[in-house]
Amino acid sequence: MLIHLHRIGGGTLPRTQNNGRSHRRFGLIGYPLGHSLSPYIHERIMEVAGIDGEYRLYELEPGSLPRELPRLLDALHGLNCTLPHKEAIVKYLEKLAPSAAEYGAVNTVYGRTGYNTDGRAFASCGVPMDGRKVRILGAGGVARVLAIEAVRAGAREIVVQARNLPRAEHLVGEVQRRGFRHISALPEPEGDSMDCNVVLNGTPVGMWPHVDGLPVTMRQLEGVQAVFDTIYNPTATRLVLRAKSRDMWTMGGLQMLFAQALAAQKIWNPEVDFTKYNTELEELRQGLAREVLRRSPIKLVLTGFMGSGKTHVGKALADTMSLPFVDLDERIAGDYGQSITDIFASQGEGAFREMERRVFLDQIKHPETMVMSTGGGTLVQEGLMETLLGSGVLVIYLNVPFDLALQRIALDGGNRKRPLLTEGLEKAKNLYEMRQPLYEAVADLEVPASLGVDEIVKRIMTAFGW
């Protein structure tokens, strides 16, 4: 898929041909736009609906808007607008639709009228907010949408949490002027609890490539029932995955992104009955997760005690997602020419851990999305997780009961393949109990390993929006 990225400044733009259903041209203005999914989404929607059209990216630096926007308005049938132009564009348009007037910002333009599809798109996600206390993280433009829609959805109370307290207070004032009084601002949570039912993340914390970011601690999420993250890359952030592990209602921002694009297409093509293509559009929406992974590599790393099924699950997950799979123990044995058992016997556990660490870090450097199964002691090595910051690793913990782990180990060759089990059952039990909290500490998503392989894979893929 070729994405056209245009940096405006001179040159000739194609003129539109307003002759019925001729080839139509759309685009996105903003700065920067290097990782935008918009061309992919819009061109796929047009293919589904039989619209002869194209969609391009137009990078406009902030100072170039007065010069370049009029040319684009003449040349395109419609355009989208993102940061930093969503508010600045207003004065160049002839009028605002009610949606844009309500939010004071424009993300879609048609016929020199500005629209805003953000609110409708967020509402389509169905976040359960009626009668609940809502905490909004961030105070920018997206937080404004979240706050207004939370009021519309029946939120009982709203707290806007942002480091920039004056900006948060400004947003609170906007909402209060609309008649909703139960809203306040905080720079940080008071104590360990956020005292809310719903968390809406409107910050970029956790966005690719810095997927290790977490805007709140898990202790602060105690008592929370629902989490929505506007970030769509990765399709499930650490915030979403960790909330999912605690059986909360969760959703990432991919649904909102797709709904924004579809709403824009409906504005630009009012004669098209998009309801005729609901099945195809839903398939397209689900397929977006694959495209995100293709463009923005992450490492899905499985951890857990021996017998948790990391290798079986890893192979099945990689096969289902059409991704490369690496079994770390197999890679170590191949690189060093000895089985794990022989390495333990001849060189000791300390030497093995050094090999394990070296091979693991080498695999993480590969510039592609992959699934990796690790040994039971890999990720609990002291300091290892700290070295992975910024490396695009998300950890899936397969939590296996100790008795079930022993049953599986016996069926799989027993102690002959498990050097750490040669010292007896009691020491194995102590090792299990020592590692459990360590697994929980590094895990982004926790899945019961007692489930069948197919069900585990399904849960993992569902968590990532597949």
Q: Which residues are catalytic?
A: 86
Residues in CB range of 236: below 8 A, 6 or more apart:
244, 250, 252, 394, 445, 463, 464, 465
User: Can you tell me the distance from the alpha carbon of 101 to that of 98, in angstroms, rounded to the nearest whole number?
Assistant: 5
Q: Which residue has the tokens 């009028």?
A: 95
Structure tokens at 52: 């002869």
Length of the chain: 466
CA 324 to chain centroid, in Å, comes to 20
Structure tokens at 6: 């245009």
User: Can you tell me the distance from the alpha carbon of 438 to that of 102, in angstroms, rounded to the nearest whole number?
Assistant: 48
Contact 215, 203 (CB under 8 A): yes
Contact 85, 92 (CB under 8 A): no
Cα dihedral sign for 385, 388, 390, 393?
negative
User: Can you tell me the distance from the alpha carbon of 294 to that of 323, in angstroms, rounded to the nearest whole number?
Assistant: 9
Q: Which helix (H) or strand (E) holds 280?
A: helix 278-295
Contact 337, 327 (CB under 8 A): no
Phi-psi region of 142 (alpha: psi -120 to 50; beta: other; left: phi over 0): alpha
Cβ count near 299 (within 10 Å):
21
Contact 335, 359 (CB under 8 A): yes
> 427 φ, ψ to 5°?
-70, -35
Cβ count near 209 (within 10 Å):
14
